[in-house]
Every structure is written in C-alpha cells, then in structure tokens.
Chain A
Amino acid sequence: MKNNKQRQAAVFFSAALLFLAMVTAAGVLCREAALETDFSRKNLAPCREYWFGTDCMGRDMFARTLAGLSMSIRIGLCTAGVSACLALLLGVAAAVMGKAADRVISFLIDTIMGIPHLLLLILISYALGKGFLGVAAGVALTHWPSLTRVIRGEVLQLKNSEFYQISRKLGWGRGQAAARHMLPHLVPQFTVGLILMFPHAILHESSITFLGFGLSAKQPAIGVILSESMRYLITGQWWLALFPGIMLVITVLLFDRAGNALRGLLEPMENREGVYG
C-alpha cells in the first residue's frame, strides 16, 4: 500500500531523528570534556586529534559544540513541548468555549504575533532574570500563536462537519463525539506543529544567548560559543565560529525537514492521489 514517496519520507524521518538523538546523547556524555581546559593545546587549528580545533583556553571545540547543541536541543524540546500544549489548550478553548473566549484568545494571538518576535523574547527573558529560566519561559511563551490558530480553525471546521453533527444526533455526548471525531484529525496537526516548532525554538534560544540575554557564559551553549568566537575571527581563528555554526544550521534544517516528512506521512490524502482512481 505504501508508495515510494511515503517510504522515502519514513526513512528520512527516522534517520533525522536518529542523528539528532545521537547528538543529544553525545553532548550529555562529553559535558565534562567540554569544560576541560588544557593550555598545552590552546589555539590549535582543526587536526586529526581535535576535529573542530581548540580555543584560547585549550578546550576541545568538538566536545564543546556537541555539548552546546545538545543543550540547545534539550531546551528546544522542552519549550516547544510547553508551547505546543499551550497552543492545543488555547486553540480548542477558542473553538468550543463560545464567542467571548474566542475573541480574547484571538486578540492574544494577534497581539503576540504583532510584536517583533525577538524583541518580545528578549523582554520576557530579561524580565525573568535571563539564565535558563528566562530563556525557557521566553521561548515557550512566544511560539504558540501560529499553531493555536491552526488548531482553532481545525476544531471549528470539525465542529461544523456533517459527520460530527450526525454523531451527536445518534446519541453521542459532546466529549465522546469530540474524542472520536476530532482527535484523529488533531493529533497529526499537533505532532507536525510540534516538530516544526523545534527549529524555531532552537534558533531563538541560540540567538538570544548570542546577544547576551540568555544562558550564562559558563554554560556551553551554542549561542555562547558563537558569541565568544566572534572576538577571535579577526585574529584568524575561523574554526571557532565555522564548525559550531554549521552544526547549528544542520540541526535546525534536519528538524525542519523531519517535520515536513512527517507531515507527508500523517496526511496521506495528498500523497495517495492516483492510487485509488
């Protein structure tokens, strides 16, 4: 039954997920190595022993990059998860709790989308005293509006669908009918929305850390690494910025592509055209 496109998407999705899981695990394991300083090996260019080179304190950049990425991915997972749950709650509430609730929630969505994203993020993070809590709260509180909109629209459409109305007349209660008819449509939307939120969350976490409103310099976050390395670029130590930067781009792209592959798998209608005449 599965066609070629679907199989490709499934393989790609699993591969991307495996890679990201490995990076996350490796980062946790080499957290110690990332903090280890050794002045006998400082400012080394990339070589066979230190793939990404070392910095001015003799720290292994490969270990630091992995640890930083892992940190970013973990923060991304947490915040995107919270944000997506918030979106689910608010989206469903807007659709089923009547006009007043819908107005309030729609107003919130418009307000948050109307403020420049990074600015709001910095404000929240700064107000909460920067650090882990500030970043996490900032990212979690700014990423829900677009998914909320999608879920609100989906629930509204389902509520007016003929099959939902029919099941109510066949004696199904509100909750039963919603669980049976809405859940199967909402789960894919939610999952894909969640995965497509990861790259945003990761990028924004690194950006505000890079700008100095996020994690502290002691933590090996990718934003910290990148902002530190800017100072050494003019002295010719290009490897300090290049490899961590490339790894960040790869991670973000992989999450994005994995999300799109999953969408292809979960919404089979578009992919199946032509199979059943």
Chain B
Amino acid sequence: MLEADNLIFSYRRRELPVLDRVSLQVKPGERVGIFSPSGSGKTTLLKLLSGYLLPQGGKVLADGKPLPRSGFCPVQMVWQHPERAVNSRLTMGKILAEGGKTDPRLEALFGIEVDWKRRYPEELSGGELQRFCIVRALGEGTRYLLADEITAMLDMITQAQVWNALLEEMERRQIGLVAVSHSRELLEQVCTRVVGLEELSYSGVKR
C-alpha cells in the first residue's frame, strides 16, 4: 500500500502551506483519481509521493517502507510535459533504456514503433514522446504509478489508446495508480475512486 500520512508542504517558509496535512492511501491495483482546479497543489502532491520533494511534515510509505534516497524508486511519476522529461541530446532508444531492461511487449502495447527509437526527441510529437515516458516509468520495480495530466496534450483517440494500454498493464501487474487531472470525466472513466484534493486535506473546506 502507498500511504501518505499528514503531509505538509510549503514552497516558502512562513507562508500558508500548499498542502496542509494531506493523507491518502492507495492499494495495489487500485486507481485513485485526484480532481482539483489548477494551481491547487496536485503536482506538488505527486512530487511528494514519488520523492522528488521532501515533505516538511508527515511521511510517505510505499509497502510499509519509506521511499529510498537512491536506487530505483518503486513509486514512479510520469510528468505533464514529456518534452521536458527527456534529454534532447539522446536518442529515444537510449532514453527508453534509462528505465532498465526494455520490454518489447510493453513497447508494442503502447504502439511504439522500432523506427522511433533511432530518432531524437524533437523529431517526435508530444503524444509519441509521452508513450516513451510511460513505458520508461513502467520498469520491473515499479509498484505505483503517478500520472500528472499525462494525456492533457493528446487528441481523444490517442488519449483512449494510451489509457487503454496503461489500464491493461496495471491490471496485469497490480500496479497502483494515482492520476491527477482537471477533467473529471476522464478520471471517472479510468479510476476506481475519484476524490477532490480538498477532501484529502485536514483543513478541508477552508481551501
């Protein structure tokens, strides 16, 4: 189980925290959608859950253990802007290999073509890049996946393709998902549980 316990985080000291005592539990295979308007701290919460940021209060546990400081992190995050999440000077094949052993089955599932791997990031579209980022984050050690508006830049058909592939893989490996979006319809389609960010927070209604 991925647990967040009373997380407190603020970007500047002596200011109202962005996240005030936020708690969340995600079981393996469960898919939680978090819905809230932009600028309310969704991405910050995901960064805390995956260890990119450290909370000023509270703790994050993945399967009972704190997140590792180094080495492969069992909680992986897929970022909102794929073009910033890849190094523009590496070929896509090398970028994919960053996530460990590459799995041809997974690549086929997400519709990654062999020819794309020889190209550089700027020679692919945002949607194509995002598929690489998702596959890269689905390495063998990944137990929980955090999706930060991962399909916001895609058209409807591609969105459906990407999500179908993702759901299939998560079902198979019993990976837990936290998806964040400002589109409630999308979250209701793909998630088993949808909550507003303010419901997770202690200070709740005040926000």
Residues of A within 8 A of B (CB): 161-173, 180-181, 184-185, 269, 276
Known: A161-B84, A180-B98. 4 other contacts (CB 8 A): A162-B85, A169-B72, A171-B141, A181-B90
List residues of chain A with CB within 8 A of the CB of B88: 269
Looking at chain B's contact residues, the main secondary structure is loop
CB pair B122 A276 closer than 8 Å: yes
Interface residues of B in 57-85 (CB under 8 A from A): 70-73, 76-77, 79, 81, 84-85
Task: Take A165-B52, A276-B122, A276-B123 as given contacts and tell me if A172 and B84 are in contact as well, using a CB distance cutoff of 8 Å.
Answer: no
Cα–Cα distance between A173 and B71 once the two chains are bound (Å): 7
Cα–Cα distance between A184 and B90 once the two chains are bound (Å): 8
Q: Does B33 contact A (CB under 8 A)?
A: no
Task: Take A161-B84, A163-B84, A276-B123 as given contacts and tell me if A169 and B52 are in contact as well, using a CB distance cutoff of 8 Å.
Answer: yes
Instruction: Choose among B79, B85, B98 the residue with the greatest number of A CB atoms under 10 Å from its CB.
Output: B98
Cα–Cα distance between A165 and B98 once the two chains are bound (Å): 12
Instruction: Choose among A165, A168, A171, A185 the residue with the greatest number of B CB atoms under 10 Å from its CB.
Output: A171
Cα–Cα distance between A171 and B206 once the two chains are bound (Å): 39
CB pair A170 B85 closer than 8 Å: no
CB pair A169 B76 closer than 8 Å: yes
A12 → chain B closest CB, angstroms: 24
- From A161, A164, A169, A173, contact of B73 by CB (8 A): A169
Q: Does B93 contact A (CB under 8 A)?
A: no
Cα–Cα distance between A17 and B204 once the two chains are bound (Å): 68
Closest to A183 in B: B89
A272 → chain B closest CB, angstroms: 8
List residues of chain B with CB within 8 A of the CB of A172: 98
Task: Take A162-B79, A276-B122, A276-B123 as given contacts and tell me if A170 and B84 are in contact as well, using a CB distance cutoff of 8 Å.
Answer: no
Q: Does B51 contact A (CB under 8 A)?
A: yes
CB pair A184 B87 closer than 8 Å: yes
Cα–Cα distance between A220 and B137 once the two chains are bound (Å): 63
- From A162, A169, A173, A185, contact of B84 by CB (8 A): A162
Task: Take A165-B52, A181-B87 as given contacts and tell me if A173 and B79 are in contact as well, using a CB distance cutoff of 8 Å.
Answer: no
Q: Does B111 contact A (CB under 8 A)?
A: no
List residues of chain A with CB within 8 A of the CB of B70: 168, 171, 173
- From A163, A171, A269, contact of B87 by CB (8 A): A163
Closest to A184 in B: B89
List residues of chain B with CB within 8 A of the CB of A181: 87, 90
List residues of chain B with CB within 8 A of the CB of A269: 88, 122
List residues of chain A with CB within 8 A of the CB of B136: 170
Q: How many residues of B contact A (CB 8 A)?
A: 27
Task: Take A162-B85, A163-B84, A276-B123 as given contacts and tell me if A171 and B90 are in contact as well, using a CB distance cutoff of 8 Å.
Answer: no
User: Could you give 6 example pairs across A and B, Cβ below 8 Å?
Assistant: A169-B76, A170-B72, A170-B98, A171-B70, A171-B141, A180-B90
- From B71, B84, B85, B86, contact of A171 by CB (8 A): B71
Closest to B142 in A: A170
List residues of chain A with CB within 8 A of the CB of B137: 170
A96 → chain B closest CB, angstroms: 16
A185 → chain B closest CB, angstroms: 6
Cα–Cα distance between A161 and B51 once the two chains are bound (Å): 15
CB pair A170 B139 closer than 8 Å: yes
Task: Take A165-B52, A276-B123 as given contacts and tell me if A170 and B87 are in contact as well, using a CB distance cutoff of 8 Å.
Answer: no
Closest 5 CB pairs of A and B: A171-B72, A184-B89, A169-B73, A163-B87, A162-B84
A182 → chain B closest CB, angstroms: 9
- From A166, A173, A180, A276, contact of B85 by CB (8 A): A166
Cα–Cα distance between A103 and B205 once the two chains are bound (Å): 45
Task: Take A180-B90, A185-B89 as given contacts and tell me if A166 and B79 are in contact as well, using a CB distance cutoff of 8 Å.
Answer: yes
Cα–Cα distance between A164 and B52 once the two chains are bound (Å): 11
List residues of chain A with CB within 8 A of the CB of B85: 162-163, 166
Interface residues of B in 116-137 (CB under 8 A from A): 122-123, 136-137
Cα–Cα distance between A6 and B136 once the two chains are bound (Å): 34
Q: Does B151 contact A (CB under 8 A)?
A: no
List residues of chain B with CB within 8 A of the CB of A173: 70
A161 → chain B closest CB, angstroms: 7
Cα–Cα distance between A110 and B122 once the two chains are bound (Å): 37
CB pair B100 A169 closer than 8 Å: no
List residues of chain B with CB within 8 A of the CB of A180: 87, 90, 98
Closest to A187 in B: B89
